Structure 1
Amino acid sequence: MFTPELVTEAERLLAGLRARRWKLATAESCTGGLIAGLFTEIGGSSDVFERGFVTYSNAAKIGDLGVDFDTLYRHGAVSAEVAREMAAGALRASAADAAVAVTGIAGPAGGSAEKPVGLVHIGLALRGKPALSREFRFGNLGRSEIRLQTVTQALGMLAGALSA
């Protein structure tokens, strides 16, 4: 289902989280649970992977993760602000020590000049630290490729946090 490279990276991240005795949560919109699926593809991940939230709708982002309605209204679901609130909300709603969140426009429709297809925001939150986010503009690579690139970049952000 996933490329060998992605599985290897996920195994490495699980080992790093395990060494720190950290739990992981995910909050996913445009990837629809792919990040959680990747981690749970690996046997023994249950000692590290705490839970995953698929919050595709705004109502789910608000209800499950506590994303502020005003943030959604002012910035839109695909924004740095929402990605950070999703990651922080995943920590609040779980026993995790680290959370990664993704929100974006995978296409083929739904884009605009301001927020084109391929725009993705990834949030990362570590317990006791402010959440951060990064913006990616993958371009209109096709829905599947945008989603896979998002998974790859989310893993990269998590790896960066573990090496810091």
Structure 2
Amino acid sequence: MKAADLIDVARAAGQMIACAESCTGGLLGAEITAVPGSSDVFDRGFVTYSNAAKVEMLGVDPATIAAHGAVSEQVAAEMAFGALARSEANVAVSITGVAGPGGSEHKPEGRVCFGFATKDGVKTETVEFGAIGRASVRAAAVNHALDQLMHALQP
């Protein structure tokens, strides 16, 4: 189980995790907290589905959303930084994307942007999962975030 392995690695590293989720609607936090003992390493999760929630809860600049759209690496970076700043975590992950159905020419279904923030800065990436269906995009995003968190926490 990926979440259990992540918890073991984070515990061994003495790290706390926070997450800021949009298109996954709290699924990442739910996956992590489904594991007994997760409170040792999981500080909190922010479900910021609307743009207003991203601004109010995480401090995302409305100008960033206006310029790049909610599904962008720029917004993912600000979400991750906001979660880190508003928590006791050492590492924060953010997820924002188009789960579907549908999308647009510029933001197709299955595009998900991630941010990973620590005190040393933020790393962002965009993954194109494709038009695999809403549930599958959301599940793939959670799995990817778990993998990347595991990678970030390993020495």
Matched, 1:123 2:118: no
| Greater RCO (CA < 8 Å, at least 6 residues apart) | 2
The residue aligned with 2:75 is 82
Residues in 2 aligned to 1:89 and 1:121: alpha-carbon distance in whole angstroms: 15
1:158 has 2:149 as partner: yes
Match of 1:40 in 2: 33
The 5 A counterparts of 1:93-108 are: 93-108=86-101
The separation in 2 between residues aligned to 1:33 and 1:81, in whole angstroms, is 21
What one-letter code is carried by the residue in structure 1 that aligns with 2:105?
A: A
Q: Are 1:72 and 2:62 counterparts? A: no
- CA drift at 1:129: 1.1
SS in 2 for 1:116: coil
TM-fit CA distance, 1:22: 1.2
Percent identical: 50
CA distance in 2, matches of 1:47, 1:95: 12
Give the Å deviation of 1:132: 1.1
CA distance in structure 2 between the partners assigned to 1:122 and 1:30 by the alignment: 11
Q: What is the letter of the counterpart of residue 144 of structure 1?
A: A
Superposed displacement of residue 163, structure 1: 2.4
4+ long deviations beyond 3 Å: none
Aligned with 1:140: secondary structure? coil
CA distance in 2, matches of 1:154, 1:18: 17
Q: Distance in 1 between matches of 2:135 and 2:152?
A: 26
Q: State the AA in 2 paired with 1:79.
A: S
Residue by residue over 1:22-52, the C-alpha shift from the partner in whole angstroms, topping out at 9 and shown as x without a partner, is 1110100000000000011001111111000
What TM-score, normalized to structure 2? 0.97
Give me the whole-angstrom Cα distance separating, in 2, the residues matched to 1:86 and 1:118. Answer: 19
Tell me if 1:114 matches 2:106.
yes
**Matched residues in 2 for 1:130 and 1:75: separation?**
20
Structure 1 gap segments, 5+ residues each: 1-7
Q: Give me the whole-angstrom Cα distance separating, in 2, the residues matched to 1:30 and 1:38.
A: 15
Equivalent residue of 2:20, what SS?
strand
Aligned match for 1:146, one of 137, 143, 146: 137
Counterpart Cα distance in 1 of 2:145 and 2:40: 20
Q: What is the root-mean-square deviation in Å for CA atoms of aligned residues?
A: 0.8
CA distance in 1, matches of 2:153, 2:15: 10
Residue 137 (structure 1) aligned to one of 112, 125, 128: 128
**3-state SS of 2:95 partner:** strand
